[in-house]
A and B are shown apart, each in its own frame.
Chain A
Amino acid sequence: MTAMSNRAKLGVVVASAVLLGSVAAGYVAVAAEPASAPPPATGDQALTLAPGPRLLAITDRHLSTVATADPAGSRTVSGLECLRVYAAAGTGVCLKPETAWSYQMVVLDAALRQTRAISVPGLPNRARVSASGRMVSWTTFVGGDSYTSSGFSTRSGILDTRTGTTVASLEEFAITRDGRGYRNADVNYWGVTFTADDNRFYATMATGGRRYLVRGDLAARTVETLKDNVECPSLSPDGTRLAFKEAIGADPAKGWRLSVLDLATMRVTATAETRSVDDQAAWLDSGKLAYTLRRDDGQPDVWSVPADGSGAATLAIPGAESPSPLT
C-alpha cells in the first residue's frame, strides 16, 4: 500500500463507495414492495364480529372470517390490518401498526368500529378478550429494558372496557410463589386468559429462568403460582381445563408440546399434535383447539386438534393465523 498516493487511495475509496452504494440501492429497489392495497373483500357480506358460526383469523395481515363448517372455503377479508386478533361476544381486540416502529391495541365493536386505542410498547405477541367481551388483554415483546443487555422482555396489559381501568403491566402485581411472597426485577408475564367472572385470570409468569402458570386477581392486584412449565394458557369454555404449550424437557429450546391441564386434578394430557406449537391456542368448542403453525418459509396455517389427546391434527384455515371462534 505504501506505493499508493493519498489521491489514489481516495479514488479507490470513492470507487468502492459508488460500487457498494449501487449494490445496496439496487437491492433496495428490487426489494421494495409496492404500496400494499387492502385485499379486496372476497365474501359477499361485510365482516362482523357478531357471534355466529364463523372463525375469525388474520389473512395477509388483515382481518378475515370463514364459516366454521367450511374453514378452508370462501373467506371474508376486511381492510383492517392487524398482527394479532381475538374476539368474543361482539368485542374484538386488534394489535395493529401505528407507525413503522410502533403498535396500538385497539378495541373493536361488532361492526369493526374502533372504540378505544392504547399505544403499546414493543412488538405484538398475544391478544385475548374475556368470554363476556368485557375484559381485554395483550402481550408485547419489549426490547431494551431487559437487564441482560440484549434479550427481550414481555409486557402484558389488561383493560376493563366497562370501567376503562387499565393495567399497563402486570409486573406491578404482588406475587406469591410456592406459597411465599416474591419479588424480582426479572419478572415477565405473557399470555393472559380470563375466567367467567371477569376478575380472575390465568397467565404465564417467568422469573429466574423458569416459567410458571399463575392465577391472578385483578381487583386484589395479586398473582400466585400454580404449576411449573405452563405457558400461554387458554381456558376452556366450561372453565375446567387449560390448553397450554409445555416446553419439552422444560427447555423451550427443544420446542413446545400443545397440552391440556385439568384444573381439578392438575393432570396434563398431551394432544395428538407432535409438532412444536409456539402459540396461545384458542378453544373452537369444548373439545377442539385451534393454533397457528408456520411452514418452512414462514407462511402461517391454522391447525386444529382434539383437546382430549385423541385423533390427529388437521389443517383448518390455510394461509391464516391468530384464530378465534366468534362466540
Chain B
Amino acid sequence: MYLSTVSRPAAEDPDPGPRRRRFALVSGNVVALGTVSLITDVSAEMVAAVLPLYLVLGLHLSPVAFGVLDGVHTGATALLRVVGGFAADRFRRRKLIAGIGYTLSAVAKLGLLLAGRSIPAIGAVIAVDRIGKGVRSAPRDALITLSTPPEALGRAFGVHRAMDSVGAFLGPLAAFAVLLVVGQSYDAVFVTSFCIAALAVVVLVLFVRERPPGEAADGGTVDGGPSDGPGDPTVSVREAFGLLRGGPARRLVLAAAMLGLATIGDGFVYLLLQRREDLGLRWFPLLAVGTSLAYLLLAAPLGVLADRIGRLPVVIGGYSALGATYLLLAGPVDGWPLIALTLALYGAFYAATDGVLIALAGPVLPARLRTTGIALVQTGQALAYLVSSVLFGLAWQAWGPENAIRAAAVAVAGVLVGTLLLLASPSRLTTRKVPR
C-alpha cells in the first residue's frame, strides 16, 4: 500500500487492488526524489569530469592553486549541513531546504562562467556548490523516510541510490558529447550542466511533496513520541541537542562516526590496487567506474534484502565486504580476479551501507527531528572519514602499505563489534514491523 498511503489519504482507499500493489515498488515521492537526484547527478558529474581539464588546460592553474580551492570547505559544509537539517525540521520545510540546496548547486555552474580566471572566485563558486550538496542531502533523505512506510525503507533508499548512480554514470558521457561538438569551449559544458540542474529543480518543485502536517502517514515515531502534527510546538535547539543526549539516536550517531573511522577512502583503495597490479596508469579512472557499476547494480537488491532480513545485518554485511576488500589488497590473490573481486566487493560495501544506514536510522529518529538526526548521522560519518584518511596516511608512512591496509581491516573488525554492541541491543532496530 505504499503508493496509496502516500498519494492519497489511506482512509479513502483502503484497498488499492492487488494489481496496483504488485507494481508499486516505491512511493511516487521516492521516484520523484530519485529522478531529481538522477538529473542533478548528470549535471554535477558533467562538471566534475571537465573541471580538471578546465582548470589546468583552460585556465592554466597549477595543482597547488587547485589544492587551495579545495579542502578548506569541508568543516564549514559539515556545520551547515546540521544547521540546514535543523532549519528544515524547525520550519517543517524539508522540501524548501532541499530545493535551496539543489538551486545553489545549479547556480554554481553558472558561477564558473562568471568567475573567470580568479582563483578566489572559483574557490567561492566551488564552496557554493559544496554547500548546496551539503544542505540538500539530509532533507532529501528525511523526505524519503517520511514518505515511505518503515518496513519498505530499505528498498526506497535502494531505488533512490540506484537512480542517483545512473545519473553519475551518464554525466561524464554528456560532458564528452558536448566537448565533441564544441572542442575546447568548457563554458558550453557549464551552461549545459546548469540547464540540466535547473530542470531537476523544476521536477523537485512540481513533483516532490512535503508531507502535509497532520497527515502522519507512516512516518510516525517508534517510541510513541510527539508526531509532526500542526498543533505541535516548533522544534527547539534544546530539543535538537536532546537527540545527542541519550537513547537510540545518540547510539546511531556514535555508530555512524565509528563506521566512518573504518573507511580509508576510495583514493587509497585504488592506489593500493594500482600498486599491487602495476596497472597502466591510463586505466586508473576505470577503477572508480567498476565500483560505481557494482554499486548501481546492487543498491536496489540489497535495499530489498534489508527490508526482508533487517537493516543492521545488511549494514554489518556491507562493512564485512569492506574488511574483505582491505584483506584482498594485502592477500595472495593476483591479477584480474583480484581487480574484479575488489571492485565488486567495494561496490557491494557502498550498496549495503550508504542508503541502508539512513533506512536504519530513519524510524529511530522522531519524525519532527528526522532531518536534524539524519544530518548528524551523515556529518558524524563524514568527519570521522576525514580523520581516518589522515590516520591511514600516517600508518602507510610508518608501516608501509601492506601492513597499513591489514591494520585497516583489523579496525573494520573492531568497529563492527562496536556497532553490534551499540545497535543490536534495542531489538526494535532490527525488526521489520514497527508498532505504531
A positions within 8 Å CB-CB of B = 1, 4, 9, 12-13, 16-17, 20-21, 23-24, 27-28, 31-33, 36, 83, 100-102, 119-125, 141-155, 168-169, 183-186, 252-253, 278, 294, 296-298, 300
CA distance A298 to B188 in the complex (A): 18
Digitize B173-194: 1 where CB-to-A-CB distance is under 8 Å, 0 elsewhere. 0001011111111011001100
How many residues does chain B have at the interface if contact means C-beta atoms less than 8 Å apart? 58
Closest B residue by C-beta to A98: B282
Q: Which of A83, A101, A120 has the most CB of B within 10 A?
A: A101
Alpha-carbon gap, A125 to B62, bound state (A): 9
A147 touching B195 by the CB < 8 A rule?
no
Min C-beta distance of A304 to chain B, whole Å? 19
Question: Cβ of B56 < 8 Å from any Cβ of A?
Answer: yes
Q: Which of B77-85, B160-168, B203-211, B408-416 contacts A (4 or more CB under 8 A)?
A: B203-211
Q: Given A32-B182, A252-B68, A278-B62 in contact, is the A141-B206 Cβ separation under 8 Å?
A: no
Q: Which residues of chain B have C-beta atoms less than 8 A from A31's C-beta?
A: 182, 185, 187-188, 191
Given contacts A121-B281, A123-B53, contact A147 B185 (CB under 8 A): no
Contact with A along B48-60 (1 / 0, CB 8 A): 0000110011111
| A20, B195: Cβ atoms closer than 8 Å | yes
Which chain A residues lie closer than 8 Å to B182 at the CB level? 28, 31-33
Beyond A124-B57, A147-B271, A294-B60, 15 additional contacts (C-beta under 8 Å) are: A1-B205, A13-B199, A20-B198, A24-B196, A121-B284, A125-B63, A141-B56, A147-B265, A147-B267, A149-B389, A151-B67, A184-B393, A252-B64, A278-B60, A298-B59
- B281 touching A28, Cβ below 8 Å: no
Q: Would you give the 0/1 interface string for B258-295, flagging 1 where the beta carbon is closer than 8 Å to chain A?
A: 00000001111011001000000110110010000000
Question: Do the beta carbons of A298 and B60 come within 8 Å of each other?
Answer: yes
Flag if A183 contacts B202 (CB, 8 Å): no
Q: Bound state CA distance, A155 and B63, in angstroms?
A: 12
* Contact residues, B342-379 vs A (CB, 8 A): none
Q: Are B185 and A145 closer than 8 Å at their CB atoms?
A: no
Decide if B202 touches A100 in the complex (CB within 8 Å): no
Question: Across the two chains, which residue of chain B brings its CB closest to A185?
Answer: B396
Q: Counting CB contacts under 8 A, is B65 at the interface?
A: yes
Q: Check B224 for interface membership: any CB of A closer than 8 A.
A: no
User: How far apart are B31's CB and chain A's nearest CB, in angstroms?
Assistant: 13
B59 touches A145 (CB 8 A): no
Q: Does B397 contact A (CB under 8 A)?
A: yes
Contacting residues, chain A, for B274 (C-beta < 8 A):
145
A121 to B274, CA, bound (A): 13
- Cβ of B17 < 8 Å from any Cβ of A? no
Given contacts A20-B196, A184-B397, contact A123 B56 (CB under 8 A): yes
Interfacial chain A residues near B56, Cβ < 8 Å: 123, 125, 141, 152
Candidates B181, B203, B282, B397; contact of A185 at CB < 8 Å? B397
* A183 to B268 CA separation, bound complex (whole angstroms): 15
Q: Which residue of A lies closest to B198 (CB)?
A: A20
With A13-B206, A123-B57, A146-B267 given, is the CB distance from A28 to B192 under 8 Å?
yes
Q: Are A144 and B288 in contact (CB under 8 A)?
A: yes
Q: Mark B123-160, 1 if CB is under 8 A from A, else 0.
A: 00000000000000000000000000000000000000
